[in-house]
Amino acid sequence: MIRKLTENIIVVGEGGSSNTTIISGRNCLIIVDTSLFPEKALKIRKFSQEIFGKPISLVINTHYHPDHTFGNAAFEDVNILSSKLTKEFMEQMDINYIEKIWGKEGAKKYHVSLPNSTFEEKLSLSECGVKMKLCNLGGHTPDSTIIFLEKEGILIAGDLIFNNYHLEITDDSNIEDWKNALNILRDLSPFFVVPGHGEVGGLDLIKSTKDYLMRIEAFVEGKISKEELISDKNFSEREFPELFVYSVENIFKILARF
């Protein structure tokens, strides 16, 4: 998918893989999320140069997950910004973790490029003349960060939102924080919502993601049956059901901690 949201903002994604947003400002570009593989990130970098013909001045990572950060290796000469937590999580990645993602060969060929500037919880930024607000809301992961371009009405939600794919609930997800984050996103009233995975949509994506979370929570707590869950189109029509199994296992792990 290559989706042009405005003359200056393009979202690039492929099937269920993570989305990258390219924002063109006055004299330079901003890239949000860098995909899983440096080769792919390099292609996105070249594509952004061909389309806009401006240098990249900033890369932003929405959270530490490799499919949003491992392409940073293609932007080593660029300032990379994330929340403080994202950088801390990335610093903890050891070689076993990296080999699991890239394989032994990939881990020899590339290294994980860490963000070189960070913010605590919130940051208002004007980069290349583009005003944006960054906020670490947590939920999907403790470091899950959103980027809001108020003037353009564009919300880049990272993995707090999945469109038409099952949500990825990991063992460090916090469902309460996630639901609260979605309320905050809804109140921003964005025109475009860029999900971490899947097609760009509107406000409806925030509602369907929250409904999904509440249904899956009710299912795990035994409040609704498997049949009721499956009969819900917001559940059954999502792709990548393997993620549902993974997510349910993780919800049990999260609950076991309380």
Sheet holding 122-127, edge to edge: 122-127, 130-136, 145-149, 154-162, 192-197
Minimum CB distance to Zn ion, residue 65 (Å)? 4
Of 159, 161, 173, 193, the residue at the interface with Zn ion (CB under 5 A) is: 159
Instruction: Name which of 105, 112, 29, 14 is nearest 72 in CA terms.
Output: 112
Closer residue to Zn ion in complex, CB, 24/210: 210
Closer residue to Zn ion in complex, CB, 65/238: 65
Instruction: Name which of 120, 121, 130, 115 is nearest 60 in CA terms.
Output: 115
Of 40, 45, 65, 166, the residue at the interface with Zn ion (CB under 5 A) is: 65
Which one of 22-30, 34-42, 76-84, 156-164 is the stretch in contact with Zn ion (CB under 5 A)? 156-164
Closer residue to Zn ion in complex, CB, 65/210: 65
Instruction: Name which of 158, 160, 147, 134 is nearest 190 in CA terms.
Output: 147
Query: In terms of DSSP bridges, do strands 79-83 and 117-119 run parallel, antiparallel, or are they unpaired?
Result: parallel
Q: Does 197 bind Zn ion (CB under 5 A)?
A: no
Radius of gyration of the chain measured on its C-alpha atoms: 18
Minimum CB distance to Zn ion, residue 33 (Å)? 10
Which one of 65-73, 82-90, 110-118, 182-190 is the stretch in contact with Zn ion (CB under 5 A)? 65-73
How many residues of this chain interact with Zn ion, rule: CB under 5 A?
2
Closer residue to Zn ion in complex, CB, 25/138: 138
Closer residue to Zn ion in complex, CB, 152/159: 159
Which one of 8-16, 86-94, 103-111, 157-165 is the stretch in contact with Zn ion (CB under 5 A)? 157-165
Which one of 62-70, 120-128, 226-234, 245-253 is the stretch in contact with Zn ion (CB under 5 A)? 62-70
Minimum CB distance to Zn ion, residue 140 (Å)? 6
For Zn ion, the binding residues (CB under 5 A) are 65, 159
